[in-house]
A and B are shown apart, each in its own frame.
Chain A
Amino acid sequence: MLNLPAIRANGFALVPLADGPTPTIKFSGNGDTEAISPLDRFLKLLHKNLIDENCTSVAVDLGELYFMNSSCLKAFVSWIYKVNTTGRPYQIHLQMNPRQPWQRRSLEPLKRLAPAIVFLDELAHVKTEMPPAPGR
């Protein structure tokens, strides 16, 4: 399974989830300036892990992600591009919170970028309320 360190920082977290048949990472909090570099590094490491382990799919749980800026989106764009242009691509399941209307709007362009490997799934059990803005 995934050999990735969890990242818990001020305002966001990137955590590999061990349970379940599909490798899953949970991206939560706010994907803003603080998250850009850690997210980029994390996704590169994740890609290497998934290739090394011959994984055929990965899930990204975004149920408690409350915002993602364009630079964090770009990190996903670069990851998807890399997966789509490697010899052995794997499926990426982006698990959305249906109560966060921005998520579908932001993630649909990623699906259009690589429709054969990117799938948008709605999470069944999600939180409704946004947390307070992260302290800085």
Chain B
Amino acid sequence: MDARNETSSGLGDLCRCGMDEREGRMSTRPSQPASDKKISLFICLSFCPSEDLVSAISQLVSDFCRIGLRDLDISSRFHMAAHELAENITKYSTTSRVSLEVELSERGGVHMLSVRTRNVASPERLVEVERRLHELKFTKDPVELYDRMIEESAPLEGVSGLGLARIRAEGGLEFDYSINGNELTMVVQAPVPNPIQSKTP
């Protein structure tokens, strides 16, 4: 087992839950918010990794954005992000349980929508993915990084590896991650319009 401590300190109060594999269930609750953070919606989907579920899950996130926020642009960005994240955890999980959470919160008048995934992966996979995630998180130019990854992958058959980079470059979403033992947590988020105001025609 990989005994690394949690890496990446930027998650802050975004994620505070984990999987109990012995009992095969998620012990999940919304993050422990700072006192001024208000969570108005929290959805946690805990499921057995299956390609058949990926589209349904991303559609759920998209529908929530479209109906709850009435913003087609945000909806399409989060649809893409949820799809790529769900595919990623489905592909690389080594256990029968992964999770995807959607959280709408408000702090200081700023409303944030976030999608967070958790999965357990092999130590070898985590070493490889951490290198990529670190580069993705800290790049100053996500579009340049994505273009470079596209160029590098172009001659290669059957390899994509573009999904996570796409979330930042195309989606324009903030990205963070942490690795705690063998559990990988990834978070994407963006400010969104006030859900109450957005219901006003």
* Chain A residues close to B by CB (< 8 Å): 11, 30, 32-33, 67, 69-71, 73-74, 77-78, 80-81, 100-102, 105-106, 109, 112-113, 133-134, 136
Contacts and interface: CB of A to CB of B under 8 A. Distances in A.
Contacts of B151: 113
A70 B156 CA distance: 14
B32 interface: no
A102 B54 contact: no
26 contacts: A11-B55, A30-B55, A33-B54, A33-B55, A33-B87, A67-B58, A67-B79, A69-B84, A70-B162, A71-B160, A73-B166, A74-B153, A78-B154, A78-B155, A78-B156, A78-B157, A81-B154, A100-B76, A101-B73, A105-B171, A106-B80, A109-B147, A113-B150, A113-B151, A113-B154, A133-B59
Given A70-B87, A133-B56, 9 more contacts: A67-B79, A69-B163, A70-B163, A73-B162, A74-B153, A80-B154, A101-B76, A109-B147, A109-B150
Contacts of B59: 133
> Which of A30, A33, A70, A78 has the most chain B CB atoms closer than 10 A to its own CB?
A70
Contacts of A133: 55-56, 59
B55 A32 contact: yes
Contacts of B170: 102, 105-106, 109
Interface of B, helix, strand, loop or mixed by DSSP: helix
A83 to B, nearest CB: 11
Contacts of A33: 51, 54-55, 87
Given A33-B54, A78-B157, A70 B150 contact: no
Contacts of B163: 69-71
Contacts of A100: 76
B169 interface: yes
Interface of A, helix, strand, loop or mixed by DSSP: helix
A123 to B, nearest CB: 17
B83 A113 contact: no
A112 B59 CA distance: 29
Kindly list the 7 A-B residue pairs having the minimum CB-CB distance in the complex, ordered from nearest: A81-B154, A70-B163, A74-B160, A133-B59, A102-B76, A70-B162, A105-B170
B48 to A, nearest CB: 15
Interface string B138-168: 0000010011001101111101101100100
B124 interface: no
B45 interface: no
A32 B54 contact: yes
Contacts of B73: 101
Interface in B61-77: 72-73, 76-77
B191 to A, nearest CB: 17
Nearest to B171: A105
A134 B79 CA distance: 15
Contacts of A106: 80, 166, 170
Nearest to B90: A33
Contacts of A71: 160, 163
B23 interface: no
